[in-house]
Amino acid sequence: MDNTTLIQKCALRRRYLRFIDDPIVIETHGGFGEVWRRVYSGIDVGCVIERDEDKAEALAKQRPTWRVVLGDCEKLIRHGLYADAQWSVLDIDPYGEPWQVIDAFFSGSRNYARRMILVVNDGLRQKLRVGGGWLTGSMKPYANKYGNIVLFDRYLDICRDKVVDIAARVGYRIVEWTAYHCGTKGDMTHYAALLTL
Protein backbone atom coordinates (compact mmCIF):
# COMPACT_ATOMS: atom_id res chain seq x y z
CA MET A 1 0.00 0.00 0.00
CA ASP A 2 1.23 3.49 -0.89
CA ASN A 3 1.02 5.32 2.46
CA THR A 4 1.36 8.74 0.82
CA THR A 5 -1.71 8.00 -1.29
CA LEU A 6 -3.61 6.73 1.75
CA ILE A 7 -2.82 9.88 3.71
CA GLN A 8 -3.98 12.09 0.82
CA LYS A 9 -7.05 9.94 0.24
CA CYS A 10 -8.14 10.24 3.87
CA ALA A 11 -7.39 13.97 4.05
CA LEU A 12 -9.59 14.61 1.01
CA ARG A 13 -12.47 12.68 2.57
CA ARG A 14 -12.17 14.51 5.88
CA ARG A 15 -12.06 17.86 4.09
CA TYR A 16 -15.28 17.15 2.20
CA LEU A 17 -17.14 15.64 5.16
CA ARG A 18 -17.33 19.14 6.66
CA PHE A 19 -19.92 19.97 3.98
CA ILE A 20 -22.36 17.31 5.21
CA ASP A 21 -24.33 17.33 8.46
CA ASP A 22 -25.04 13.81 9.80
CA PRO A 23 -23.42 11.94 6.90
CA ILE A 24 -24.83 8.64 5.67
CA VAL A 25 -21.99 6.85 3.89
CA ILE A 26 -21.98 4.23 1.17
CA GLU A 27 -18.47 2.87 0.67
CA THR A 28 -18.36 0.75 -2.47
CA HIS A 29 -15.02 -1.01 -1.98
CA GLY A 30 -14.46 -1.78 1.69
CA GLY A 31 -11.08 -3.46 1.38
CA PHE A 32 -9.38 -3.91 4.72
CA GLY A 33 -11.27 -1.00 6.31
CA GLU A 34 -8.34 1.37 6.68
CA VAL A 35 -10.22 4.39 5.29
CA TRP A 36 -13.10 3.68 7.68
CA ARG A 37 -10.66 3.54 10.62
CA ARG A 38 -9.12 6.88 9.68
CA VAL A 39 -12.19 8.75 8.42
CA TYR A 40 -15.59 7.18 9.07
CA SER A 41 -15.25 5.37 12.42
CA GLY A 42 -17.29 8.04 14.21
CA ILE A 43 -20.22 7.67 11.80
CA ASP A 44 -22.89 5.21 12.94
CA VAL A 45 -24.94 4.90 9.74
CA GLY A 46 -23.47 3.52 6.57
CA CYS A 47 -23.14 0.73 4.09
CA VAL A 48 -19.97 -0.95 2.89
CA ILE A 49 -19.77 -3.32 -0.07
CA GLU A 50 -16.98 -5.84 -0.56
CA ARG A 51 -16.69 -8.72 -3.01
CA ASP A 52 -14.14 -10.72 -0.99
CA GLU A 53 -15.87 -12.88 1.63
CA ASP A 54 -13.07 -12.77 4.20
CA LYS A 55 -12.80 -8.99 3.96
CA ALA A 56 -16.58 -8.60 4.19
CA GLU A 57 -16.63 -10.72 7.34
CA ALA A 58 -13.89 -8.57 8.88
CA LEU A 59 -15.75 -5.39 7.89
CA ALA A 60 -18.93 -6.67 9.56
CA LYS A 61 -17.00 -7.14 12.81
CA GLN A 62 -15.33 -3.75 12.41
CA ARG A 63 -18.57 -1.77 11.99
CA PRO A 64 -21.52 -3.44 13.70
CA THR A 65 -23.95 -0.55 13.07
CA TRP A 66 -23.32 -0.43 9.30
CA ARG A 67 -24.91 -2.53 6.59
CA VAL A 68 -22.24 -4.84 5.17
CA VAL A 69 -22.96 -6.35 1.75
CA LEU A 70 -21.00 -9.10 0.00
CA GLY A 71 -21.01 -8.78 -3.78
CA ASP A 72 -20.19 -6.75 -6.89
CA CYS A 73 -20.88 -3.10 -6.02
CA GLU A 74 -21.60 -1.95 -9.56
CA LYS A 75 -24.25 -4.63 -10.13
CA LEU A 76 -25.78 -4.22 -6.68
CA ILE A 77 -26.06 -0.44 -7.00
CA ARG A 78 -27.32 -0.58 -10.57
CA HIS A 79 -30.09 -2.95 -9.45
CA GLY A 80 -31.20 -0.62 -6.66
CA LEU A 81 -29.31 -1.65 -3.53
CA TYR A 82 -30.76 0.51 -0.73
CA ALA A 83 -32.19 2.93 -3.29
CA ASP A 84 -34.56 4.24 -0.62
CA ALA A 85 -31.70 5.58 1.53
CA GLN A 86 -30.52 9.15 1.07
CA TRP A 87 -26.78 8.50 0.88
CA SER A 88 -24.97 11.77 1.46
CA VAL A 89 -21.46 10.35 0.95
CA LEU A 90 -20.60 8.13 -2.01
CA ASP A 91 -17.05 6.81 -1.52
CA ILE A 92 -15.60 4.88 -4.45
CA ASP A 93 -12.16 3.28 -4.16
CA PRO A 94 -11.66 0.50 -6.74
CA TYR A 95 -8.37 -0.99 -7.91
CA GLY A 96 -9.00 0.36 -11.41
CA GLU A 97 -11.53 2.72 -12.94
CA PRO A 98 -14.59 3.96 -11.04
CA TRP A 99 -16.84 5.02 -13.90
CA GLN A 100 -19.18 2.02 -14.01
CA VAL A 101 -19.95 2.47 -10.30
CA ILE A 102 -20.48 6.23 -10.65
CA ASP A 103 -22.76 5.61 -13.63
CA ALA A 104 -24.71 2.95 -11.70
CA PHE A 105 -25.33 5.23 -8.72
CA PHE A 106 -26.61 8.11 -10.84
CA SER A 107 -28.85 5.89 -13.00
CA GLY A 108 -32.35 4.74 -12.39
CA SER A 109 -34.67 5.49 -9.54
CA ARG A 110 -33.05 6.43 -6.24
CA ASN A 111 -33.92 8.64 -3.28
CA TYR A 112 -31.12 11.19 -3.73
CA ALA A 113 -30.01 13.46 -0.91
CA ARG A 114 -30.43 17.18 -1.55
CA ARG A 115 -26.72 17.62 -0.86
CA MET A 116 -24.05 14.94 -1.12
CA ILE A 117 -20.37 14.37 -1.69
CA LEU A 118 -18.75 12.06 -4.18
CA VAL A 119 -15.18 11.10 -3.35
CA VAL A 120 -13.11 8.84 -5.59
CA ASN A 121 -9.77 7.08 -5.70
CA ASP A 122 -9.31 6.39 -9.42
CA GLY A 123 -6.66 4.05 -10.85
CA LEU A 124 -7.51 4.40 -14.55
CA ARG A 125 -4.67 6.78 -15.34
CA GLN A 126 -2.16 3.92 -15.21
CA LYS A 127 -3.92 2.36 -18.20
CA LEU A 128 -4.04 5.73 -19.95
CA ARG A 129 -0.27 6.10 -19.51
CA VAL A 130 0.28 3.08 -21.80
CA GLY A 131 -2.27 4.25 -24.39
CA GLY A 132 -5.13 1.98 -23.32
CA GLY A 133 -7.84 4.63 -23.20
CA TRP A 134 -9.42 3.70 -26.50
CA LEU A 135 -9.87 0.14 -25.17
CA THR A 136 -11.82 1.38 -22.14
CA GLY A 137 -15.54 1.95 -22.66
CA SER A 138 -15.66 4.99 -20.39
CA MET A 139 -12.82 6.68 -22.30
CA LYS A 140 -13.75 5.84 -25.91
CA PRO A 141 -15.72 9.09 -26.47
CA TYR A 142 -12.79 11.11 -25.10
CA ALA A 143 -10.27 9.18 -27.21
CA ASN A 144 -12.39 10.03 -30.25
CA LYS A 145 -12.72 13.68 -29.18
CA TYR A 146 -9.15 14.44 -28.05
CA GLY A 147 -7.11 11.55 -29.41
CA ASN A 148 -5.96 8.59 -27.36
CA ILE A 149 -2.46 9.97 -26.83
CA VAL A 150 -3.62 13.00 -24.77
CA LEU A 151 -6.02 11.24 -22.39
CA PHE A 152 -3.29 10.77 -19.78
CA ASP A 153 -2.46 14.50 -19.72
CA ARG A 154 -6.10 15.67 -19.83
CA TYR A 155 -7.50 13.22 -17.30
CA LEU A 156 -8.32 15.80 -14.59
CA ASP A 157 -10.47 17.75 -17.07
CA ILE A 158 -12.08 14.55 -18.29
CA CYS A 159 -12.95 13.51 -14.72
CA ARG A 160 -14.72 16.77 -14.03
CA ASP A 161 -16.57 16.69 -17.36
CA LYS A 162 -17.73 13.13 -16.72
CA VAL A 163 -18.90 13.85 -13.16
CA VAL A 164 -20.77 16.97 -14.35
CA ASP A 165 -22.51 15.00 -17.11
CA ILE A 166 -23.34 11.90 -15.04
CA ALA A 167 -24.57 13.78 -11.96
CA ALA A 168 -26.66 16.17 -14.08
CA ARG A 169 -28.79 13.24 -15.26
CA VAL A 170 -30.53 13.28 -11.86
CA GLY A 171 -30.35 17.05 -11.33
CA TYR A 172 -27.11 17.50 -9.39
CA ARG A 173 -24.67 20.30 -10.02
CA ILE A 174 -21.12 20.62 -8.69
CA VAL A 175 -20.61 23.43 -6.19
CA GLU A 176 -17.15 22.39 -4.98
CA TRP A 177 -14.50 20.34 -6.82
CA THR A 178 -11.01 19.09 -5.99
CA ALA A 179 -8.87 16.85 -8.19
CA TYR A 180 -5.21 15.91 -8.36
CA HIS A 181 -2.86 13.13 -9.41
CA CYS A 182 -0.76 11.29 -6.86
CA GLY A 183 1.03 8.02 -6.15
CA THR A 184 3.83 6.40 -8.08
CA LYS A 185 4.38 8.32 -11.35
CA GLY A 186 1.13 10.23 -10.76
CA ASP A 187 -0.91 7.24 -11.92
CA MET A 188 -3.59 7.60 -9.25
CA THR A 189 -6.22 10.31 -9.41
CA HIS A 190 -8.19 11.55 -6.42
CA TYR A 191 -11.23 13.75 -6.85
CA ALA A 192 -14.15 14.92 -4.80
CA ALA A 193 -17.29 16.88 -5.57
CA LEU A 194 -19.91 18.53 -3.43
CA LEU A 195 -23.17 18.04 -5.32
CA THR A 196 -26.48 19.79 -4.75
CA LEU A 197 -29.93 19.33 -6.27
Amino acid 95: pLDDT:
85
pTM metric for this prediction: 0.94
Q: Give yes or no for residue 46 having a pLDDT over 60.
A: yes
Name all domains of the chain by residue range, CATH numbers in brackets.
3-196 (3.40.50.150)
- Asked if residue 173 has pLDDT above 80, the reply is yes
CB atoms within 10 A of CB 121: 24
Residue 2, pLDDT score: 45
Average pLDDT over residues 33-54: 96
Q: Which of 88, 99, 148, 150 is nearest to 122 (CA)?
A: 99
